[in-house]
């Protein structure tokens, strides 16, 4: 098989890249390890920056988003019972949209299928060769048959556990990471959201977040220690704990119901530098992970894809490779700024358990009071929350 761009991974990064390349007349093949059904069953992100919705529009996949997305203009930060609303629309002129990653992925699949895009599912044993030449090759198995894909560029969109990053020589690769000693226990339920806007709450018992997927479907999270077992969390126990961490007025209004999905995700930061080596490029979770606080993971994946799709288009239009040469530097600049924001928001809103000291607890309180009393502080929060400019 031959194509211009070989894409490993059919999550949001890989599918969006192949769709944007298609819109620009560039041929690609997507190789995905799992079945389409499996990819679509993953419950993940749900909060899209305006830049992300613009990219989905540019890719011609914004119909569902325009019809069913919920636009938000502000967010509530609650600290030990005191509330600070950040009017991010008033401060920045930008809105955020609630629309699930599952729906984004489904819309992208539909678009790729409509234009007869090549997405191969259930591929295994991917091996990358000749990455240091202009004719790299991807070997893989599809339905037990050995195949090979020749291309001009390979893009690794295969998430943190994928094979692409591993193919980068150790001698040029630098990996930076920092983990938190806690995770988020998330519940999805067919109940109306407790508040029309998102509520991030810091409480002595730990962080809580009230989010949503639609006007009838809620997404709630609570901070839990890393060794917590999901089986120990009945729905009743989850709702009781969530209520304890919310302001009493909000807790009284919470409508509970059976969970549709329940899982624990660890919180950590990870960045791989560079994001390009010769013919190999990395995008999305394959190159970086941010703690979920602030919902930057999916949005960062989209900004990588934006830079890369534009650079590839320029290259194929006029053999101008400056965008490709700049990709790693440009993408990493935004990645590090988003990593900083997600990391510091995580520090502000979570109970560090045994790591806490009276000093760090006072610093957190001071930071919250700064947000409460300074419009400049709220503007800085808002600028990062709605997504830094590309
Ligand atoms: P993905 O979504 O992980 O997709 C990678 C795809 O590559 C496939 N793959 C392979 N294919 C072929 N060969 C191999 N060897 C392969 N290895 C892997 C995988 O099957 C998969 O289909 O990465 P991508 O596309 O870069 O997208 C990134 C986003 O998915 C991610 O940033 C966010 O979902 C992160 N994230 C969240 N972000 C938010 O903004 N808000 C959230 O609330 C939120 N919740 C989450 C999350 C990530 C989670 N994970 C990964 C643990 C909750 C969870 C549980
Ligand atoms: C979500 O709805 O999953 C979500 C929203 C906001 C965040 C993180 C996750 O900061």
Q: How far is the CA of 311 from the centre of ligand 2 (A)?
A: 30
Residues of the chain with pLDDT under 70: 355-356
Select from 84, 83, 368 the least CA-distant residue to 249.
83
- Give alpha helix (H) positions in 164-258: 235-245, 248-253
Query: Atom of ligand 1 at shortest distance to CA of 124?
Result: 13
Q: Give me the phi and psi of 218, to 5 degrees please.
A: -110, 155
| pLDDT confidence of residue 357 | 81
Q: How far is the CA of 285 from the centre of ligand 1 (A)?
A: 6
Q: Which of 45, 212, 343, 346 best tests ligand 2's pocket when mutated (most atoms within 8 Å of CB)? A: 45
- Which residue has the CA at smallest separation from atom 8 of ligand 2? 295
Query: Atom of ligand 1 at shortest distance to CA of 297?
Result: 32
Q: Give me the phi and psi of 186, to 5 degrees please.
A: -110, 140
Residues 189-229 pLDDT 10s: 999 999 999 999 999 999 999 999 999 999 999 999 999 99
Residues 188, 190, 195: CA angle, nearest 5 degrees: 80
* Structural contact between residues 72 and 98, judged by C-beta atoms closer than 8 angstroms: yes
Classify strands 137-142 and 145-150 as parallel, antiparallel or unpaired: antiparallel
Q: Which of 70, 211, 291 best tests ligand 2's pocket when mutated (most atoms within 8 Å of CB)? A: 211
* Structural contact between residues 208 and 186, judged by C-beta atoms closer than 8 angstroms: no
* Structural contact between residues 383 and 296, judged by C-beta atoms closer than 8 angstroms: no
Residue carrying structure tokens 């030449």: 133
* Structural contact between residues 331 and 307, judged by C-beta atoms closer than 8 angstroms: yes
Ligand 1 in reach of 186 Cβ (< 6 A): no
- Neighbour tally for 249: CB within 10 Å: 8
Residue 347 burial by Cβ neighbours in a 10 Å radius (0-12, 13-18, 19+): middle
> How far, rounded to the nearest angstrom, does the alpha carbon of residue 324 sit from its chain's CA centroid?
23
| pLDDT confidence of residue 353 | 83
Q: What is the DSSP string of 240-289?
A: HHHHHHS-HHHHHHPPP--EEEEEEEEEEEEEEE-SEETTEEE-GGGTEE
Ligand index nearest the alpha carbon of residue 197: 2
| pLDDT confidence of residue 71 | 98
Residues 168-194 pLDDT 10s: 999 999 999 999 999 999 999 999 999
Q: How far is the CA of 252 from the centre of ligand 1 (A)?
A: 35
* Structural contact between residues 68 and 61, judged by C-beta atoms closer than 8 angstroms: no
Ligand 1 in reach of 162 Cβ (< 6 A): yes
Q: How far is the CA of 342 from the centre of ligand 2 (A)?
A: 12
Domains and CATH numbers, the chain: 5-72+95-177+268-346 (3.50.50.60)
Q: How far is the CA of 324 from the centre of ligand 2 (A)?
A: 32
Interatomic CA distance for residues 267 and 50, integer angstroms: 24
Per the DSSP assignment, residues forming a β-bridge with 142 are: 123, 145
- Indicate whether this model's pTM tops 0.75: yes
Query: Atom of ligand 2 at shortest distance to CA of 345?
Result: 10
- Which residue has the CA at smallest separation from atom 9 of ligand 2? 295
Q: How far is the CA of 294 from the centre of ligand 2 (A)?
A: 6
Q: How far is the CA of 286 from the centre of ligand 1 (A)?
A: 8
Q: Give me the phi and psi of 79, to 5 degrees please.
A: -125, 115
Q: How far is the CA of 158 from the centre of ligand 1 (A)?
A: 8
Written as six digits, the tokens of 151 are 């291309």
Q: How far is the CA of 52 from the centre of ligand 1 (A)?
A: 16
* Structural contact between residues 112 and 20, judged by C-beta atoms closer than 8 angstroms: no
Q: Which of 45, 49, 124 best tests ligand 1's pocket when mutated (most atoms within 8 Å of CB)? A: 45
Ligand 1 in reach of 296 Cβ (< 6 A): yes
Select from 185, 221, 184, 161 the least CA-distant residue to 11.
161
Ligand index nearest the alpha carbon of residue 125: 1
240: left (phi over 0), alpha (psi -120 to 50) or beta: alpha
Q: What is the DSSP string of 349-384?
A: HS--GGG--HHHHHHHHHHHHHHHH-HHHHHHHHHH
- Which residue has the CA at smallest separation from atom 10 of ligand 2? 294
Integer-rounded Cα Rg, in Å, for the chain is 21
| pLDDT confidence of residue 227 | 94
Q: Give me the phi and psi of 144, to 5 degrees please.
A: 70, 10
375-385 helix and 358-373 helix, angle to the nearest 10 degrees: 100
| pLDDT confidence of residue 43 | 81
| pLDDT confidence of residue 156 | 98
Q: How far is the CA of 246 from the centre of ligand 2 (A)?
A: 16
DSSP state at residue 73: -
* Structural contact between residues 185 and 177, judged by C-beta atoms closer than 8 angstroms: no
């Amino acid at each position: 098989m031959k194509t211009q761009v070989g894409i490993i991974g059919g999550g949001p990064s890989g599918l969006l890249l192949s769709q944007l390349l298609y819109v620009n007349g560039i041929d690609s093949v997507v190789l995905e390890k799992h079945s389409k059904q499996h990819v679509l069953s993953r419950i993940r992100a749900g909060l899209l920056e305006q830049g992300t919705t613009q990219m989905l529009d540019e890719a011609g996949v914004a119909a569902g988003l325009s019809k069913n997305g919920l636009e938000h203009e502000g967010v509530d930060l609650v600290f030990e019972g005191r509330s600070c609303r950040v009017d991010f629309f008033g401060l920045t002129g930008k809105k955020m949209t609630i629309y699930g990653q599952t729906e984004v992925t489904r819309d992208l699949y539909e678009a790729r299928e409509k234009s007869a895009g090549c997405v191969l599912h259930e591929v295994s044993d991917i091996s990358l060769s000749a990455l240091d030449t202009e004719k790299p090759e991807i070997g893989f198995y599809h339905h037990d048959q050995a195949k090979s894909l020749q291309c001009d560029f390979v893009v690794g969109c295969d998430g943190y556990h994928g094979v692409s990053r591993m193919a980068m020589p150790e001698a040029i690769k630098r990996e930076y990471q920092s983990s938190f000693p806690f995770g988020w226990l998330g519940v999805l339920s067919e109940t109306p959201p407790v508040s029309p806007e998102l509520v991030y709450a810091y409480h002595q018992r730990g962080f809580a977040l009230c989010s949503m997927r639609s006007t009838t479907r809620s997404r709630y999270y609570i901070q839990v220690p890393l060794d917590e077992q999901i089986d120990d969390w009945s729905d009743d126990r989850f709702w009781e704990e969530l209520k304890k961490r919310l302001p009493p007025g909000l807790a009284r209004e919470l409508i509970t119901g059976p969970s549709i999905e329940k899982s624990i995700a660890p919180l950590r930061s990870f960045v791989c530098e560079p994001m390009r080596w010769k013919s190999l490029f990395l995008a999305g979770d394959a190159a970086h992970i941010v703690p979920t606080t602030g919902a930057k993971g999916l949005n960062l994946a989209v900004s990588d894809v934006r830079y890369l799709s534009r650079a590839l288009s320029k290259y194929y239009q006029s053999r101008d490779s400056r965008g490709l040469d700049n990709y790693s530097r440009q993408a990493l600049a935004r990645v590090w700024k988003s990593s900083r924001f997600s990391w510091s928001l995580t520090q502000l809103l979570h109970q560090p358990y045994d790591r806490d000291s009276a000093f760090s607890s006072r610093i957190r309180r001071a930071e919250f009071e700064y947000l409460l009393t300074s419009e400049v502080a709220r503007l800085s929060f808002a600028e990062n929350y709605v997504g830094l400019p590309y």
